Amino acid sequence: MIKRHLTEVQDWMSENVIVVAPDASLADAYALMIENEVRRLPVVDRELIGIITYSDILRHVPVSVEEADEATRILLTQRTVREAMTYSPITISPSATIQEAAERMLEYQVSGLPAVRNGQAVGMITESDIFRLVVESWSEE
């Protein structure tokens, strides 16, 4: 039987999370993602109100951003994060276990969760972080 993993989210999450405002353009959100090598951004208006992913942007501007024509560039600059984001995202407490985070990701079919304390996004835990934990714990055995 596999034992439950009690390591906490805060031990494996990315801190200093990059956030975006709801009124930012999709072009600005995309640029933040590329610049910081992330695929999701918590949307913050004083506190966490949503999340926007790379996939959300592609759904609203249905061509590769790299190959964007002028019309697509205009859409990217005129549409806002608020139009494409998911409201009230699934979140996790930084003190929750990695097990709880993994179960929540599986249950809601999401690849990352904002870690939230008192309404503030304090980190992001992703599938990649959990894979890193698995690899490191297997290499210790």
* Each residue's pLDDT tens digit, 17-70: 999 999 999 989 999 999 999 999 999 999 999 999 999 998 887 655 556 566
Provide the domain limits for residue 57: 9-140
End-to-end CA distance of the chain: 17
Residues 82/22, Cβ–Cβ less than 8 Å: yes
Residue 120 lies in a domain: yes
pTM of this prediction? 0.84
Residue 60 lies in a domain: yes
- What's the structural domain count of the chain? 1
Residue 75 lies in a domain: yes
- Domain CATH for 77: 3.10.580.10
Beta bridge partners of 115: 92, 123
3-class SS shares of the chain: helix, strand, coil, % to 5? 45, 25, 30
Residue 2 lies in a domain: no
Instruction: Give the integer Cα–Cα distance in Å for 119 and 26.
Output: 24
Residue 4 lies in a domain: no
Condensed to tens digits (0 to 9), the pLDDT of residues 64-93 reads: 555 656 666 667 778 899 999 999 999 999
Residue 40 lies in a domain: yes
